[in-house]
Structure 1
Amino acid sequence: MQGPLPLYTEYASKVLHSWTSLRICMNEGSGGPNTLQKVNTLIEQMHTVACRLKDEEKLADFLEDYLDLELNMICEDDSIPEVAKLLMDGAHLVRDNRLSELRMKMDSLPSPCDLNKCQSQSNVIEFEGDAEDSQSSESGTEEGHDVEMNE
Protein backbone atom coordinates (compact mmCIF):
# COMPACT_ATOMS: atom_id res chain seq x y z
CA MET A 1 0.00 0.00 0.00
CA GLN A 2 1.23 3.48 -0.89
CA GLY A 3 1.91 6.16 1.67
CA PRO A 4 -0.28 9.25 1.77
CA LEU A 5 1.95 11.68 -0.16
CA PRO A 6 2.74 9.42 -3.14
CA LEU A 7 -0.96 8.50 -3.30
CA TYR A 8 -1.97 12.17 -3.26
CA THR A 9 0.61 12.97 -5.94
CA GLU A 10 -0.82 10.18 -8.09
CA TYR A 11 -4.32 11.56 -7.44
CA ALA A 12 -3.25 15.14 -8.30
CA SER A 13 -1.58 13.87 -11.46
CA LYS A 14 -4.75 12.08 -12.55
CA VAL A 15 -6.90 15.15 -11.78
CA LEU A 16 -4.60 17.50 -13.66
CA HIS A 17 -4.01 15.16 -16.60
CA SER A 18 -7.80 14.75 -16.92
CA TRP A 19 -8.24 18.53 -17.12
CA THR A 20 -8.82 19.31 -20.79
CA SER A 21 -7.57 22.90 -20.54
CA LEU A 22 -4.26 21.80 -19.05
CA ARG A 23 -3.90 18.97 -21.55
CA ILE A 24 -4.36 21.42 -24.43
CA CYS A 25 -1.75 23.67 -22.84
CA MET A 26 0.67 20.73 -22.59
CA ASN A 27 -0.10 19.61 -26.13
CA GLU A 28 0.46 23.11 -27.52
CA GLY A 29 3.50 23.81 -25.35
CA SER A 30 2.07 27.19 -24.39
CA GLY A 31 4.43 27.47 -21.43
CA GLY A 32 7.45 27.31 -23.71
CA PRO A 33 9.98 24.50 -24.05
CA ASN A 34 9.65 23.64 -20.33
CA THR A 35 5.86 23.28 -20.33
CA LEU A 36 5.88 19.62 -19.26
CA GLN A 37 8.45 20.33 -16.54
CA LYS A 38 6.27 23.17 -15.24
CA VAL A 39 3.22 20.89 -15.14
CA ASN A 40 5.22 18.16 -13.38
CA THR A 41 6.47 20.70 -10.81
CA LEU A 42 2.87 21.75 -10.21
CA ILE A 43 1.87 18.12 -9.64
CA GLU A 44 4.81 17.40 -7.33
CA GLN A 45 4.17 20.51 -5.22
CA MET A 46 0.36 20.30 -5.18
CA HIS A 47 0.03 18.69 -1.75
CA THR A 48 2.23 21.36 -0.17
CA VAL A 49 0.36 24.13 -1.98
CA ALA A 50 -3.06 22.75 -0.99
CA CYS A 51 -2.02 22.35 2.65
CA ARG A 52 -0.67 25.91 2.83
CA LEU A 53 -3.70 27.50 1.19
CA LYS A 54 -6.28 25.36 3.06
CA ASP A 55 -9.14 26.74 0.96
CA GLU A 56 -10.37 25.73 -2.48
CA GLU A 57 -11.08 29.34 -3.50
CA LYS A 58 -7.47 30.31 -2.74
CA LEU A 59 -6.29 27.19 -4.56
CA ALA A 60 -8.42 28.17 -7.57
CA ASP A 61 -6.78 31.62 -7.54
CA PHE A 62 -3.35 29.98 -7.32
CA LEU A 63 -4.14 27.66 -10.26
CA GLU A 64 -5.44 30.56 -12.34
CA ASP A 65 -2.28 32.57 -11.64
CA TYR A 66 -0.03 29.56 -12.33
CA LEU A 67 -1.72 28.89 -15.65
CA ASP A 68 -1.39 32.54 -16.63
CA LEU A 69 2.12 33.29 -15.38
CA GLU A 70 3.89 29.96 -15.90
CA LEU A 71 1.97 28.35 -18.75
CA ASN A 72 0.77 31.43 -20.64
CA MET A 73 -2.83 30.24 -20.59
CA ILE A 74 -6.05 31.90 -19.57
CA CYS A 75 -8.81 29.45 -18.79
CA GLU A 76 -12.17 31.00 -19.66
CA ASP A 77 -14.43 28.14 -18.62
CA ASP A 78 -15.52 27.26 -15.10
CA SER A 79 -13.12 24.36 -14.75
CA ILE A 80 -10.59 25.98 -12.39
CA PRO A 81 -12.88 25.95 -9.31
CA GLU A 82 -13.90 22.37 -10.12
CA VAL A 83 -10.28 21.24 -10.35
CA ALA A 84 -9.40 23.15 -7.17
CA LYS A 85 -12.26 21.42 -5.34
CA LEU A 86 -11.09 17.98 -6.44
CA LEU A 87 -7.51 18.75 -5.39
CA MET A 88 -8.55 20.20 -2.03
CA ASP A 89 -10.94 17.29 -1.35
CA GLY A 90 -8.03 14.92 -1.93
CA ALA A 91 -5.77 16.90 0.41
CA HIS A 92 -8.45 16.74 3.12
CA LEU A 93 -8.72 12.97 2.71
CA VAL A 94 -4.94 12.67 3.17
CA ARG A 95 -5.06 14.98 6.19
CA ASP A 96 -7.78 12.80 7.75
CA ASN A 97 -5.89 9.60 6.82
CA ARG A 98 -8.82 8.39 4.70
CA LEU A 99 -6.58 6.89 2.04
CA SER A 100 -8.99 4.19 0.89
CA GLU A 101 -11.54 6.94 0.13
CA LEU A 102 -8.85 8.84 -1.78
CA ARG A 103 -8.12 5.71 -3.82
CA MET A 104 -11.85 5.27 -4.58
CA LYS A 105 -12.15 8.94 -5.53
CA MET A 106 -9.14 8.60 -7.81
CA ASP A 107 -10.57 5.47 -9.43
CA SER A 108 -13.87 7.28 -10.07
CA LEU A 109 -12.28 10.20 -11.94
CA PRO A 110 -13.27 10.38 -15.60
CA SER A 111 -10.83 9.42 -18.29
CA PRO A 112 -9.33 12.30 -20.27
CA CYS A 113 -11.23 13.27 -23.40
CA ASP A 114 -9.83 12.84 -26.88
CA LEU A 115 -8.09 16.14 -27.67
CA ASN A 116 -8.56 15.50 -31.38
CA LYS A 117 -12.27 16.23 -30.83
CA CYS A 118 -11.59 19.61 -29.20
CA GLN A 119 -11.76 22.84 -31.15
CA SER A 120 -8.84 25.16 -30.78
CA GLN A 121 -9.51 28.83 -30.20
CA SER A 122 -6.89 31.49 -30.65
CA ASN A 123 -7.32 35.06 -29.55
CA VAL A 124 -4.77 37.52 -30.80
CA ILE A 125 -4.59 40.74 -28.86
CA GLU A 126 -3.03 43.65 -30.66
CA PHE A 127 -0.88 45.87 -28.52
CA GLU A 128 -0.63 49.54 -29.28
CA GLY A 129 2.27 51.22 -27.58
CA ASP A 130 6.01 51.24 -27.28
CA ALA A 131 7.92 47.99 -27.09
CA GLU A 132 9.42 49.26 -23.84
CA ASP A 133 5.95 49.42 -22.28
CA SER A 134 5.34 45.75 -23.02
CA GLN A 135 8.39 44.46 -21.20
CA SER A 136 7.72 43.10 -17.74
CA SER A 137 10.06 42.98 -14.83
CA GLU A 138 10.86 39.61 -13.38
CA SER A 139 11.48 40.40 -9.77
CA GLY A 140 10.81 36.86 -8.59
CA THR A 141 7.89 37.84 -6.41
CA GLU A 142 4.30 38.45 -7.34
CA GLU A 143 1.76 40.33 -5.30
CA GLY A 144 -1.11 38.23 -4.04
CA HIS A 145 0.75 34.92 -4.01
CA ASP A 146 0.65 33.09 -0.73
CA VAL A 147 2.75 30.16 -1.85
CA GLU A 148 6.10 29.80 -3.54
CA MET A 149 6.87 26.62 -5.41
CA ASN A 150 10.29 25.05 -5.30
CA GLU A 151 11.62 24.21 -8.74
Structure 2
Amino acid sequence: MSHSELFRNVVETVFSTWTALRLAVEHGMGGQQGKEIASQFVNQVTDLFCKNDIGAEEVADFLAEFMDKEFQTVCEDDSPDEVATVLWQFYQHCKAGRHDLVTLELSKFPKCEMWLCKPVHPIRSDEEAMDTVDTITHERSSDTAAEEHDPEWTEVRSRRRKERALM
Protein backbone atom coordinates (compact mmCIF):
# COMPACT_ATOMS: atom_id res chain seq x y z
CA MET A 1 0.00 0.00 0.00
CA SER A 2 1.40 3.39 -0.97
CA HIS A 3 1.71 6.14 1.58
CA SER A 4 -1.10 8.11 -0.07
CA GLU A 5 -3.48 5.12 0.13
CA LEU A 6 -2.54 4.55 3.75
CA PHE A 7 -2.98 8.23 4.51
CA ARG A 8 -6.42 8.24 2.87
CA ASN A 9 -7.39 5.47 5.31
CA VAL A 10 -6.04 7.62 8.14
CA VAL A 11 -8.12 10.62 7.03
CA GLU A 12 -11.23 8.45 6.76
CA THR A 13 -10.66 7.03 10.24
CA VAL A 14 -9.98 10.43 11.81
CA PHE A 15 -13.02 11.99 10.10
CA SER A 16 -15.18 9.08 11.30
CA THR A 17 -14.29 10.06 14.88
CA TRP A 18 -14.82 13.80 14.31
CA THR A 19 -18.10 14.58 16.05
CA ALA A 20 -18.66 17.96 14.39
CA LEU A 21 -18.44 16.47 10.90
CA ARG A 22 -20.67 13.54 11.73
CA LEU A 23 -23.33 15.75 13.32
CA ALA A 24 -23.26 18.12 10.36
CA VAL A 25 -23.86 15.23 7.97
CA GLU A 26 -26.48 13.49 10.14
CA HIS A 27 -28.46 16.69 10.61
CA GLY A 28 -28.52 17.45 6.90
CA MET A 29 -26.32 20.53 7.06
CA GLY A 30 -24.76 19.52 3.75
CA GLY A 31 -28.11 18.84 2.15
CA GLN A 32 -29.11 15.45 0.81
CA GLN A 33 -25.58 14.90 -0.52
CA GLY A 34 -23.93 15.46 2.89
CA LYS A 35 -22.33 12.03 3.03
CA GLU A 36 -20.96 12.41 -0.50
CA ILE A 37 -19.61 15.84 0.39
CA ALA A 38 -17.90 14.30 3.45
CA SER A 39 -16.38 11.60 1.22
CA GLN A 40 -15.11 14.27 -1.15
CA PHE A 41 -13.75 16.09 1.91
CA VAL A 42 -11.67 12.98 2.69
CA ASN A 43 -10.27 12.99 -0.84
CA GLN A 44 -9.57 16.73 -0.82
CA VAL A 45 -7.71 16.58 2.49
CA THR A 46 -5.71 13.56 1.30
CA ASP A 47 -4.77 15.43 -1.89
CA LEU A 48 -3.99 18.59 0.08
CA PHE A 49 -1.34 16.73 2.05
CA CYS A 50 0.00 14.56 -0.78
CA LYS A 51 0.37 17.37 -3.32
CA ASN A 52 1.59 20.18 -1.06
CA ASP A 53 4.09 20.86 1.68
CA ILE A 54 1.56 22.12 4.18
CA GLY A 55 1.54 22.79 7.89
CA ALA A 56 -1.06 21.89 10.50
CA GLU A 57 -2.25 25.50 10.81
CA GLU A 58 -3.03 25.73 7.10
CA VAL A 59 -4.87 22.41 7.27
CA ALA A 60 -6.89 23.64 10.28
CA ASP A 61 -7.89 26.74 8.32
CA PHE A 62 -8.92 24.56 5.36
CA LEU A 63 -10.98 22.25 7.61
CA ALA A 64 -12.76 25.15 9.33
CA GLU A 65 -13.46 26.89 6.01
CA PHE A 66 -14.78 23.69 4.43
CA MET A 67 -17.08 22.99 7.40
CA ASP A 68 -18.41 26.55 7.21
CA LYS A 69 -18.84 26.62 3.43
CA GLU A 70 -20.15 23.10 2.78
CA PHE A 71 -21.96 22.31 6.05
CA GLN A 72 -22.80 25.81 7.39
CA THR A 73 -21.09 24.70 10.61
CA VAL A 74 -18.75 26.85 12.68
CA CYS A 75 -16.65 24.73 15.04
CA GLU A 76 -16.08 26.80 18.16
CA ASP A 77 -14.61 23.79 19.97
CA ASP A 78 -11.19 24.04 18.25
CA SER A 79 -11.75 20.60 16.72
CA PRO A 80 -10.41 21.65 13.29
CA ASP A 81 -7.10 22.49 15.01
CA GLU A 82 -7.02 19.13 16.80
CA VAL A 83 -7.98 17.16 13.70
CA ALA A 84 -5.39 19.01 11.60
CA THR A 85 -2.63 18.31 14.13
CA VAL A 86 -3.47 14.60 14.25
CA LEU A 87 -3.61 14.36 10.46
CA TRP A 88 -0.33 16.25 10.05
CA GLN A 89 1.44 13.92 12.50
CA PHE A 90 0.08 10.83 10.75
CA TYR A 91 1.10 12.20 7.36
CA GLN A 92 4.67 12.72 8.55
CA HIS A 93 4.80 9.04 9.56
CA CYS A 94 3.26 7.91 6.24
CA LYS A 95 5.68 10.04 4.24
CA ALA A 96 8.65 8.63 6.20
CA GLY A 97 7.50 5.08 5.41
CA ARG A 98 6.61 4.21 9.01
CA HIS A 99 3.53 2.26 7.95
CA ASP A 100 3.73 -0.13 10.92
CA LEU A 101 3.67 2.81 13.33
CA VAL A 102 0.70 4.34 11.50
CA THR A 103 -1.20 1.06 11.69
CA LEU A 104 -0.35 0.69 15.38
CA GLU A 105 -1.44 4.26 16.20
CA LEU A 106 -4.68 3.86 14.21
CA SER A 107 -5.48 0.73 16.21
CA LYS A 108 -5.41 2.89 19.37
CA PHE A 109 -8.24 5.08 18.07
CA PRO A 110 -11.59 4.61 19.80
CA LYS A 111 -13.66 2.00 18.07
CA CYS A 112 -16.43 3.73 16.21
CA GLU A 113 -18.71 3.09 13.31
CA MET A 114 -16.98 3.93 10.06
CA TRP A 115 -19.97 6.01 9.01
CA LEU A 116 -18.23 7.42 5.97
CA CYS A 117 -18.38 3.94 4.45
CA LYS A 118 -22.01 3.24 5.44
CA PRO A 119 -25.24 5.10 4.77
CA VAL A 120 -25.98 7.86 7.27
CA HIS A 121 -29.59 8.35 8.33
CA PRO A 122 -30.17 12.11 8.29
CA ILE A 123 -33.22 13.80 9.78
CA ARG A 124 -36.03 12.94 7.39
CA SER A 125 -37.78 16.26 6.91
CA ASP A 126 -37.53 19.96 7.55
CA GLU A 127 -40.40 19.61 10.02
CA GLU A 128 -38.46 17.03 12.07
CA ALA A 129 -35.38 19.25 11.92
CA MET A 130 -37.39 22.21 13.22
CA ASP A 131 -38.83 20.02 16.02
CA THR A 132 -35.27 19.13 17.04
CA VAL A 133 -34.21 22.77 16.89
CA ASP A 134 -37.27 23.79 18.95
CA THR A 135 -36.47 21.16 21.60
CA ILE A 136 -32.84 22.23 21.84
CA THR A 137 -33.80 25.92 21.91
CA HIS A 138 -36.39 25.29 24.63
CA GLU A 139 -33.89 23.31 26.74
CA ARG A 140 -31.24 26.03 26.38
CA SER A 141 -33.66 28.84 27.21
CA SER A 142 -34.51 27.23 30.52
CA ASP A 143 -30.80 27.11 31.47
CA THR A 144 -29.60 30.44 30.09
CA ALA A 145 -30.97 33.70 28.75
CA ALA A 146 -32.79 33.33 25.45
CA GLU A 147 -30.61 33.71 22.40
CA GLU A 148 -31.64 34.25 18.81
CA HIS A 149 -31.39 31.04 16.80
CA ASP A 150 -30.40 31.03 13.15
CA PRO A 151 -31.50 27.69 11.61
CA GLU A 152 -28.96 28.18 8.80
CA TRP A 153 -26.04 27.55 11.20
CA THR A 154 -24.98 24.75 13.51
CA GLU A 155 -22.90 25.63 16.53
CA VAL A 156 -20.59 22.99 17.96
CA ARG A 157 -19.61 23.79 21.53
CA SER A 158 -16.78 22.34 23.55
CA ARG A 159 -17.63 20.13 26.50
CA ARG A 160 -14.73 21.74 28.30
CA ARG A 161 -16.58 25.05 28.47
CA LYS A 162 -19.51 23.43 30.26
CA GLU A 163 -17.21 21.75 32.74
CA ARG A 164 -15.45 25.04 33.45
CA ALA A 165 -18.78 26.82 33.90
CA LEU A 166 -19.84 24.26 36.49
CA MET A 167 -16.72 24.79 38.59
TM-score of the aligned structures, taking structure 1 as reference length: 0.71
Provide the identity percentage.
24
Question: Cα distance 1:18–1:79, how it changes in 2: closer, same or farther (>3 A)?
Answer: same
**Among candidates 149, 156, 165, match of residue 124 of structure 1:** 149
What does residue range 55-134 of structure 1 map to in structure 2 within 5 Å? 55-112=55-112, 124-125=149-150
Unpaired runs of 5+ residues, structure 2, are 114-132, 138-147, 152-167
The aligned residue for residue 15 of structure 1 is 14
The aligned residue for residue 27 of structure 2 is 28
| SS at structure 2 position matched to 1:29 | coil
Which structure carries more helix by proportion? Answer: 2
CA contact (8 A) 1:29 1:35 kept: yes
CA contact (8 A) 1:9 1:43 kept: yes
Aligned residue-pair number: 120
Q: Which amino acid aligns with 1:14?
A: T
Q: Which amino acid aligns with 2:62?
A: F
CA RMSD of aligned residues (A): 2.3
Divergent runs of 4+, >3 A: 120-123
Unpaired runs of 5+ residues, structure 1, are 114-119, 127-151
CA contact (8 A) 1:25 1:73 kept: yes
CA contact (8 A) 1:93 1:99 kept: yes
Q: Alpha-carbon deviation of 1:50?
A: 2.3
